[in-house]
Amino acid sequence: MKKLTSLLAATALTAAAAAPAMAEKWDMPMAYSASNFHSATGAEFAKCVTTGTGGEIEIVTHPSGSLFKGADIKRAIQTGQAPIGERLLSGHQNENALFGFDSIPFLATSFDDSAKLWDAAKPSIEKLLAEQNLTLLYAVPWPPQGLYFKNEVNSVADMEGIKFRSYNNATSRLAELTGMLPVTIEAAEISQAFATGVADSMVSSGSTGYDRKVWESLNYFYEVDAWLPRNYVMVNSDVWAGVSDANKNVIKGCAELAEYAGNWRAKEYTGFTLQGLRDGGMTVGPASEQMTNELKEIGVTMTNEWLEAAGDEGKAIVDAFNSQ
Ligand code: PCA
């Protein structure tokens, strides 16, 4: 009997080794429009994995929140409803303040500083995600965040009572501190929100304004360069554990390439999209000195609030960033 069992086991092993690996299809939900550079980067990443694994893992991207809306993507992956996906990292700030490290006004305002801040924060973020059954694959920043308005604004006083579209806790808090009225809306839905007057302002990149053609409703973009938030691609850790070493190497290589290409695109896209806003008829330029100074003061308040909420680990991130 023992002999038979080991013979059977040996046969099963041989069969497993000889059988061609089962092809898997991974649906990849993404929140932003197909034309956005993050989605283009994700589509290339998907192609790279599909080709590199010889079709053993085929990744199919679903942009525009068509499979899961932005706010639902992380949960869908944690619970195995989707194996892989992309989300705005700071969208999880309501779960843990650490996730908001990249949305602290005026801490890291250039691509170079944003990369340094990411280096400082990455180990903490990877650990947090791992505790939630998620494995980080790559992350790419958005271009610098500026302020969009329907009417001209030259000071924080001018913002009083304006309806403001927010995309995470930090942007809602910015609205509160400037006397505006925050309403959280996914990027995929902002064109309609502006057209119907649900909101008349937001903080975002030139890229999102361009993608959503906001010049149809808004007239001013102030280049405040407040911060550069990040999107990241995560995979369910159980799914990841089941991937062969060879395919893991392919996926990691494709992720590295995607991160590089995404960073490059973000930089290229900054000037291109600001020109696109101008061509659409918007006034694009720096904020007045008064408005800039007032926003910087609010930035100090928000930095202190974040440091308090994020505790020692948050302080360690900011210290590591400042000492670079
Ligand atoms: N665009 C995204 C997040 C940051 C950005 O530039 C948005 O507005 O939702």
Distance CA(80)–CA(68), nearest Å, equals 13
For 44-89, write each residue's pLDDT tens digit. 999 999 999 999 999 999 999 999 999 999 999 999 999 999 999 9
Show the tokens assigned to 67.
């499979």
The reply to whether ligand 1 has any atom less than 6 angstroms from the CB of 167 is yes
The reply to whether ligand 1 has any atom less than 6 angstroms from the CB of 70 is no
Distance 59 CA to ligand 1 centre (A): 24
Determine which residue's CA is closest to atom 6 belonging to ligand 1: 205
Show the tokens assigned to 227.
């911060």
Position in ligand 1 atom list of the atom nearest CA 187: 9
The reply to whether ligand 1 has any atom less than 6 angstroms from the CB of 39 is no
The reply to whether ligand 1 has any atom less than 6 angstroms from the CB of 210 is no
Determine which residue's CA is closest to atom 4 belonging to ligand 1: 204
Q: Examine the pLDDT at 305 and tell me if it is beyond 80.
A: yes
Structural contact between residues 172 and 154, judged by C-beta atoms closer than 8 angstroms: no
Among candidate residues 229, 203, 205, the one with its CA nearest the CA of residue 91: 229
The confidence score (pLDDT) of residue 13 equals 46
For 92-128, write each residue's pLDDT tens digit. 999 999 999 999 999 999 999 999 999 999 999 999 9
- Hunting for tokens 């210290």 — which residue is that? 319
Position in ligand 1 atom list of the atom nearest CA 203: 8
Structural contact between residues 148 and 201, judged by C-beta atoms closer than 8 angstroms: yes
pLDDT band at 22 (very low <50, low <70, confident <90, very high): confident
The reply to whether ligand 1 has any atom less than 6 angstroms from the CB of 317 is no
Neighbouring C-beta atoms of residue 199, cutoff 10 Å: 25
In sequence order, the β-bridge partners of residue 233 are: 86, 138
The confidence score (pLDDT) of residue 16 equals 46
Position in ligand 1 atom list of the atom nearest CA 186: 9
Structural contact between residues 129 and 234, judged by C-beta atoms closer than 8 angstroms: yes
CA distances from 77 to 28, 58, 132, 219, 225 (A): 9, 17, 10, 38, 32
> Could you give the strand order of the β-sheet that contains 134-141, starting from the edge strand earlier in sequence?
84-88, 230-236, 134-141
B/e letters for 302-320, b = 16+ CB within 10 Å, e = fewer, are beeebbeebeebbeebbeb
The reply to whether ligand 1 has any atom less than 6 angstroms from the CB of 187 is yes
Mean pLDDT of 264-288: 98
Among candidate residues 170, 132, 93, 121, the one with its CA nearest the CA of residue 314: 121
pTM of the model: 0.93
Q: Examine the pLDDT at 153 and tell me if it is beyond 70.
A: yes
Instruction: Report the percentage of the chain scoring pLDDT > 70.
Output: 94
Distance CA(296)–CA(293), nearest Å, equals 5
Distance 166 CA to ligand 1 centre (A): 9
Q: Examine the pLDDT at 308 and tell me if it is beyond 70.
A: yes
Distance 272 CA to ligand 1 centre (A): 16
Show the tokens assigned to 23.
């092809």
Specify the DSSP element, H or E, that contains 126: helix 111-131
Position in ligand 1 atom list of the atom nearest CA 145: 6
Distance CA(187)–CA(65), nearest Å, equals 9
Task: Look over the chain and give the mean of its residue pLDDT values, rounded to a whole number.
Answer: 94
Burial of 106 (0-12, 13-18, 19+ CB in 10 A): middle
Position in ligand 1 atom list of the atom nearest CA 205: 6
User: Domains in the chain, please, with CATH?
Assistant: 2-143+228-271 (3.40.190.170), 146-226+283-322 (3.40.190.170)
The reply to whether ligand 1 has any atom less than 6 angstroms from the CB of 205 is yes
The confidence score (pLDDT) of residue 324 equals 87
What one-character-per-residue DSSP string does 158-204 give? GGTT-EEEESSHHHHHHHHHTT-EEEE--GGGHHHHHHTTS-SEEEE
Distance CA(57)–CA(42), nearest Å, equals 15
Q: SS3 for 93?
A: coil
Longest CA–CA span in the chain (Å) reads 86
